């Protein structure tokens, strides 16, 4: 059975946002599509760094090719970037089953100093493409951090040939329940 690894947003923990609801919803979904579901408890969630978050996610992913082939990942906001870096660092030839990027971005509208490294130091996109056969991105038409969702969507398509879905009014997907995230994840797993 496939496993799911979730990388939270900036300052996110396994107990914030929609993550606890998603874990419960997946546990009760018909056929239980993922087991286990792990929401990463990343170091210093209020100050995500390139030198800590991707390696922590890499340790959770592991390097067993058979396990990776049965692994889906879900990133939320900066968690998407952290996962992309971790996936780029996988051993050559390793692939995961698929990725859902929720409120993913390449640039934010008003960057602050500690977010700049995430924007300026992109992962090796060729290695990411090789490691991720299916990538779906969920964006909102009202995200306060990336108001120009059309350009953001175009960058996801250009950089990684992602399938992009826009969810009206979802802001930054920080609600306690996010049915659009669950639905997109189930579609990705069933594809």
- pLDDT number for residue 80: 98
The pLDDT value given to residue 140: 98
Q: Residue 50: which CATH number? A: 3.40.50.1820
* Per-residue model confidence (pLDDT) at position 191: 85
Number of domains in the chain: 1
Please count the other Cβ atoms lying within 10 Å of the Cβ belonging to residue 161: 11
What's the pLDDT score for residue 108?
96
Q: How many CB atoms lie within 10 A of CB 155?
A: 18
- 3 state DSSP class of 71: strand
Domain, as residue range, for 80: 3-190
CB 132 within 8 A of CB 99: yes
pLDDT of residue 73: 98
| pTM: predicted TM-score of the whole model, two decimal places | 0.97
SS3 content of the chain, % helix, strand, coil (to 5): 35, 15, 50
* Tens of pLDDT, residue by residue, the chain (191 residues): 999 999 999 999 999 999 999 999 999 999 999 999 999 999 999 999 999 999 999 999 999 999 999 999 999 999 999 999 999 999 999 999 999 999 999 999 999 999 999 999 999 999 999 999 999 999 999 999 999 999 999 999 999 999 999 999 999 999 999 999 999 999 999 98
Match 């799911």 to its residue by tokens.
Answer: 4
Q: Residue 74 and residue 118: Cα distance in Å, rounded?
A: 17
In this prediction, residue 123 carries a pLDDT of 97
């Amino acid at each position: 059975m496939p496993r799911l690894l979730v990388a939270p947003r900036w300052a996110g923990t396994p107990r914030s946002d929609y993550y606890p609801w998603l874990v419960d919803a997946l546990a009760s979904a018909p056929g239980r599509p993922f087991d286990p579901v792990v929401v990463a408890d990343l170091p210093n969630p209020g100050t995500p760094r390139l030198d800590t978050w991707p390696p922590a996610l890499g340790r959770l992913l592991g390097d067993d090719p058979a396990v990776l082939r049965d692994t889906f990942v879900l990133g939320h906001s900066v968690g998407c970037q952290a996962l992309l870096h971790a996936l780029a660092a996988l051993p050559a030839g390793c692939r995961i089953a698929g990725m859902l990027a929720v409120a993913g971005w390449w640039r934010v509208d008003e960057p602050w100093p500690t977010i700049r490294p995430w924007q300026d130091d992109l992962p090796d996109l060729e290695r990411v493409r090789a490691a991720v056969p299916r990538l779906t991105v969920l964006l909102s038409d009202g995200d306060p951090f990336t108001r120009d969702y059309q350009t953001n969507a175009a960058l996801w398509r250009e950089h990684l040939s992602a399938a992009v879905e826009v969810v009206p009014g979802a802001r930054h997907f920080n609600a306690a329940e996010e049915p659009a995230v669950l639905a997109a994840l189930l579609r990705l797993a069933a594809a």
